[in-house]
Amino acid sequence: MLDLISVTKTYNGRAVLAALSHHFPSGQFVAIMGESGVGKSTLLNLIAGLDTPDSGQVVVDGTPVSALGDDAATRLRRSRMGFVFQAFHVLPHLTLQQNVALPLLLNGLDAGAALRMLEKVGLGGRGGDFPRQLSGGEMQRVAIARALVHKPALVLADEPTGNLDPDTAAGILDLLRAEIKASGAAAIMVTHSHAAAEKADKTFVLTRSGLTLASVVR
Ligand SMILES: Nc1ncnc2c1ncn2[C@@H]1O[C@H](COP(=O)(O)OP(=O)(O)OP(=O)(O)O)[C@@H](O)[C@H]1O
């Protein structure tokens, strides 16, 4: 589903990612851990096409993202990817239903799936509420609903349960996992939390020498 082919990214003369190659298959939920500053967010941004590698290729579903222009990269991101990122946070002036419907409308799809998705994440009946009326855990459930509602082939999550208490975090990750498994998407979650990583199928550690398999849970 996703291939990294000798991806290199350098900042200020320092190679953050050096000739990184990896294959991420559909249907697999992968966690990526690693020391602060090692390049995990950089990697997610490159995969999302929000940044471009200095050399090498990011290939999503056979399409080299890095070779696309801005408009085509945006279209690919909208249609094939779902994000649980801080930067893609729930929009405060839209209701929950409108927030979750956004990816559907942007892709010309029927917005009806938004309410069904809210029900799936345990927020049925709250579609008319605004984000300020939600707890942190509920907000993350909305973010997950919005990331998955258009059935993306690739789900990218950056610390999806960063600010949540352990029980709420576990519930959110179970939900994320269930939805990913039901849709068959490939999913990559960057996290510092070992408890979060245990919800993934496999955990890799990113170091200067690349991605190393740390554990296989399932
Ligand atoms: N736009 C940028 N300009 C210059 N340097 C950058 C830029 N973005 C990232 N870096 C540098 O690249 C390195 C990797 O950063 P990145 O945010 O990917 O790390 P990370 O593994 O996600 O860290 P953390 O776990 O702390 O979030 C850091 O040294 C950072 O300072």
The per-residue DSSP string of the chain comes to: -EEEEEEEEEETTEEEEEEEEEEE-TT-EEEEE--TTSSHHHHHHHHHTSS--SEEEEEETTEEGGGS-HHHHHHHHHHHEEEE-GGGPPPTTS-HHHHHHHHHHHTT--TTHHHHHHHHTT-TT-TT--GGGS-HHHHHHHHHHHHHTT--SEEEEESTTTTS-HHHHHHHHHHHHHHHHHHT-EEEEE-S-HHHHTTSSEEEEEETTEEEEEEE--
Q: How many Å lie between the centroid of ligand 1 and the Cα of residue 15?
A: 11
| Predicted local distance difference test score (pLDDT) of residue 163 | 76
Q: Which amino acid is at 172?
A: I
Domain count, the chain: 1
**Distance of CA 11 from the midpoint of ligand 1 (Å):** 9
Domain that holds residue 21: 2-216
Q: Give pLDDT tens digits for 24-55.
A: 999 999 999 999 999 999 999 999 988 999 99
Choose the residue to mutate in 9, 32, 33, 42 for probing ligand 1, maximizing ligand atoms within 8 Å of C-beta.
Answer: 42
Distance from the CA of 194 to the center of ligand 1, in angstroms? 21
**What integer pLDDT is reported at residue 193 of this predicted model?**
94
Residues of the chain with pLDDT under 50: none
Query: What is the predicted pLDDT for the residue at 44?
Result: 95
Best residue among 7, 8, 10, 11 to mutate for probing ligand 1's pocket (most ligand atoms within 8 Å of CB) is 11
Q: How far is the CA of 36 from the centre of ligand 1 (A)?
A: 8
Rg (CA), the chain: 17
Which tokens belong to 77?
């991101």
pLDDT for 216 equals 77
Ligand 1 pocket test target in 10, 33, 35, 38 with most atoms within 8 Å of CB: 38
pLDDT at 175: 87
Please tell me the predicted confidence (pLDDT) of residue 54. 95
- Torsion from C-alpha of 29, 163, 149, 126, nearest 10 degrees: 150
Residues 170 and 194 sit within 8 Å (Cβ to Cβ):
no
Task: Please tell me the distance between residue 117's alpha carbon and the centre of ligand 1 in angstroms.
Answer: 33
Give the model confidence (pLDDT) of 150-165 as tens digits. Answer: 999 999 999 998 878 8
Q: Which residues line ligand 1 (CB under 6 A)?
A: 11-12, 16, 34, 36-42
- The reported pLDDT for the residue numbered 136 is 87
pLDDT value of residue 152: 94
pLDDT of residue 162: 82
- Paired sense of beta strands 154-158 and 14-24, if any: unpaired
- We report the CATH number of the domain holding residue 77 as 3.40.50.300
pLDDT given for residue 89 in this prediction:
82
For residue 39, report the distance from its CA to the centre of ligand 1, in Å.
5
